[in-house]
Structure 1
């Protein structure tokens, strides 16, 4: 969101005059005030960022990151994917993928100017997630007409994202969790949750040859899911205390393990997993 500025001539400001935390963007040297986001805008943009940042091919993604394609322009998309920045200060150039959440108070004129500046600077994809009216995402690419994707469709960004993103995953937490879980499993070397289950079945079959086929299969499936939980937490940079890791591996309740696996995509403290189930399930 921002205030439109008369841009018939370049304005007097440059990106290097702004510092981290200033609530302004620049367009051709003209300042554009960026108001704080309301709860819907803030919550939905965080949901979308989690899905996008977890994609296996994304090396770097940011929220409200400042990009400076030229000295008088500074733009900060709600969510951006780019090559890992080198050094401090504003990021030179533009993101490969930019996502804007447009809700109440959106300045449409400035939004279109922002889209044109990003595409003109080399952005490959711009998605505008509309928070008013029917749920939809406007897709912009240089040299192509804008198209609209609606619920039930998927968004793709070849060369930037490996996986398609369902439109609803940019709006709904549950859909976002499913997509992020798929992404994080792929980062950990699994194609999907079925691959985790299959690995568990394979381990179960090996143990079953020695200790009894049925018991071994159940043990292996549980161990496979437990390993996936710990791998996901490690992939997210979360340290699991040895006693918690042991308790996860000791759990024999597969439904509980699956709940923990889904929760592992969003917890910030591994110990919080155990708030989802009673310890009497852990032997």
Structure 2
């Protein structure tokens, strides 16, 4: 998902639809409303002040207006600082995330991003151990931070129709052309710090590869021939190639769905069908033998069998009933004696 950071003037600024407003005479940051309208102030000329952030960045300096750290011009307006927005101000359908109170616009996905997102969601949602997954589901990491991974795997939410408290154990992000790498790094850091166990970043530009991020370990880079694992979240390893290739994604999804029904794989289904066919064939063969024995016995006893009775015998698929008729036919003198109840 492509995201564009939107900074606000200060904590007293309120979002006003369709226009820009200032609420302080002290120049601070880029003033913006939720409509996405921006107006630079004097503060913006100082390379994008980072506000309340305490993390120092190479080649940074101090803003002469607020004495906060600022970045080189090439990084201006890319790293969010503390803003006034909270999760309850973001509504379902708004194309925004929040990072430390700072609104991050989420652009619609292009063809490639959307297509791969759908395939990846199928693969993960169908895993036998997954009870819930979502696409662009909003999670409230804290009151002023809402993040929506491209794909999330998590326990079923307690309430429907609201932002989901906490974070997903597994989050997947698709990085396509135009991805804001700085914001992506911040998002990964926020998710891991809040409790996400795995963040998979699927790179759609360049060689097929997936970055695996964990909180207490080194990042790993996997190629298309590798397997992704999420113990305790997913039962099955996920081929990296399945996150890029639609046909492979369908193959993995079919395997997962079969396992949900108790079959290990498609071969197990076929084997069961063969065995069931053999068993049914054996039963049919035994029924045919019983029918033939009954008709032969009636013929030997000299008991004529009309067309209706013959059809009744041939249509019977109850082995016990055929055995009972056969036992009576051995000693019967008339056809009625064979089919008499009792």
1:110 aligns with 2:183: yes
- Which among 266, 269, 272 is matched to residue 199 of structure 1? 272
Q: Once the 2 structures are TM-superposed, how far is the Cα of residue 3 of structure 1 from its aligned partner?
A: 2.0
1:58 aligns with 2:130: yes
Distance 2:158 2:222 in 1: 34
Report the counterpart of residue 21 of structure 1 in structure 2: 93
Q: Give the superposed CA RMSD.
A: 1.3
Report the counterpart of residue 275 of structure 1 in structure 2: none
Report the counterpart of residue 226 of structure 2 in structure 1: 153
- Which among 113, 122, 146 is matched to residue 195 of structure 2? 122
Distance of aligned partners of 1:212 and 1:151 in 2 relative to their CA distance in 1, 3 Å threshold: farther
Q: Which runs of 5+ in 2 are unaligned?
A: 8-48, 53-81, 287-342
Residues 77-110 of structure 1: CA distance to partner in whole angstroms, max 9, x if unpaired?
A: 0000011011131000000100000001100000
- Which among 206, 214, 231 is matched to residue 141 of structure 1? 214
Q: Once the 2 structures are TM-superposed, how far is the Cα of residue 207 of structure 1 from its aligned partner?
A: 1.7
Q: Once the 2 structures are TM-superposed, how far is the Cα of residue 152 of structure 1 from its aligned partner?
A: 1.0
Residues 30-64 of structure 1: CA distance to partner in whole angstroms, max 9, x if unpaired?
A: 00100000000000010100000000000000000
SS of the residue corresponding to residue 3 of structure 2 reads: coil
Task: Give runs of aligned pairs for residues 1-283 of structure 1, distance below 5 A.
Answer: 1-4=2-5, 7-9=50-52, 10-87=82-159, 88-211=161-284
**When the two structures are superposed, what TM-score results if normalisation uses the length of structure 2?**
0.61
Distance 1:96 1:144 in 2: 16
Distance 1:189 1:145 in 2: 36
Q: Which runs of 5+ in 1 are unaligned?
A: 214-283
Distance 1:8 1:55 in 2: 43
Q: Once the 2 structures are TM-superposed, how far is the Cα of residue 7 of structure 1 from its aligned partner?
A: 4.7
Distance 2:50 2:101 in 1: 9
User: Displaced runs of 4+ in structure 1, greater than 4 A?
Assistant: none
Q: Once the 2 structures are TM-superposed, how far is the Cα of residue 212 of structure 1 from its aligned partner?
A: 5.6
> How many aligned positions are there?
213
The answer to whether the 8 A contact 1:7-1:30 is kept is: no
Distance 1:8 1:137 in 2: 33
Distance 2:98 2:285 in 1: 68
SS of the residue corresponding to residue 3 of structure 1 reads: strand
Distance 2:86 2:269 in 1: 51
Q: Larger helix proportion, structure 1 or 2?
A: 1
**When the two structures are superposed, what TM-score results if normalisation uses the length of structure 1?**
0.73
SS of the residue corresponding to residue 134 of structure 2 reads: strand
